[in-house]
Structure 1
């Protein structure tokens, strides 16, 4: 397997990346989950969550950090968002952190980019004193659950994640 450092670079995203992250966020969410929803629900979700404006807010939040994976061709192929925990956790610890989003385009899976992103995110969360850590993951995304399990995350709860009028069953994992 080629070294992923030769294939892609990972850098902290800046305000100038808001439009690129909106496009990549919509593409990765649709690729991963789009088949689960009626088109109107998917479009409603994307119109709210993956716009340049919503990404500009994320990038401007001092309690969050965002990384962007750029392929050697210059194409944006993945990203990570971490920060203060925003999941509906009962008795949430004030210092809790969260892996909020981690996506890599499917054609670039199995290149260990997710592991590189996790290492950066975990290091940043630790540097911010964020503990414990949480992740929300779709109840039927078994690959992601196995991936996060390798980092010591285990299920501690569930919640409903709205995508338009559809509400997904999500697991809350904690480390």
Structure 2
């Protein structure tokens, strides 16, 4: 995978430390735009601080073997991002070496341009280069658009779990794609 490519007037590239403030702002905005109607303000605020704070992305950038990609507009603003890394989801039967597509968010003005598809492809390329036998992800049970995207690539729902957002709990679907099966398609 190339470090930087241009698509539809966007530059897709590896994130760097100079992107941290913009990445934190984008991650909080995209999560809030999609899901804020589900949560009490205090639950959302505590979740954003814990899971979409600067430290989360500093750690991702500093962790060898992680992938953090961004799509930047011609004006220099970040409009989408992808984060992948070591498997941390509750996948009890995962063989050693599995990885996780942790986050894939596209800001509303850039949706419909194929960035989601592109980022899933990049995640799969990255996972294969890691030698992972499978890649996992979780998706909100009512996020039907994301589920359809992942299913198009062959991800299958294998379990469910309760995902905490502050004191609130969401039903989350655990999905897996066996990379050996995917490479045969």
TM-score (norm 1): 0.94
Aligned to 2:124: 122
Name the CA distance, whole Å, in 2 between partners of 1:47 and 1:83: 20
Name the CA distance, whole Å, in 1 between partners of 2:55 and 2:18: 12
Alignment pair present for 1:144 and 2:130? no
Name the CA distance, whole Å, in 1 between partners of 2:175 and 2:69: 22
Aligned to 1:85: 87
Aligned to 1:169: 171
From 44, 55, 76, the equivalent of 1:42 is: 44
Alignment pair present for 1:63 and 2:65? yes
Name the CA distance, whole Å, in 1 between partners of 2:88 and 2:52: 17
User: 1:66 touches 1:81 (CA, 8 Å); kept in 2?
Assistant: yes
Aligned to 2:33: 31
Q: 1:70-109, aligned counterparts within 5 Å?
A: 70-109=72-111
Name the CA distance, whole Å, in 2 between partners of 1:130 and 1:72: 34
Aligned to 1:19: 21
How far the C-alpha of 1:83 sits from its partner, in A, is 1.5
Name the CA distance, whole Å, in 1 between partners of 2:144 and 2:107: 17
Name the CA distance, whole Å, in 2 between partners of 1:135 and 1:30: 20
How far the C-alpha of 1:125 sits from its partner, in A, is 1.1
Name the CA distance, whole Å, in 2 between partners of 1:60 and 1:15: 9
Give 4+ residue runs of structure 1 displaced > 4 Å after superposition: none
How many residues of Structure 1 are paired with residues of Structure 2 in the alignment? 172
How far the C-alpha of 1:85 sits from its partner, in A, is 1.3
CA RMSD of aligned residues (A): 1.2
When structure 1 is superposed on structure 2, of 144-153 and 91-100 the one drifting more is 91-100
Tell me the secondary structure at the aligned position of residue 22 of structure 1: helix
Name the CA distance, whole Å, in 2 between partners of 1:16 and 1:130: 30
Gap regions ≥5 residues in structure 2: 1-5, 178-185
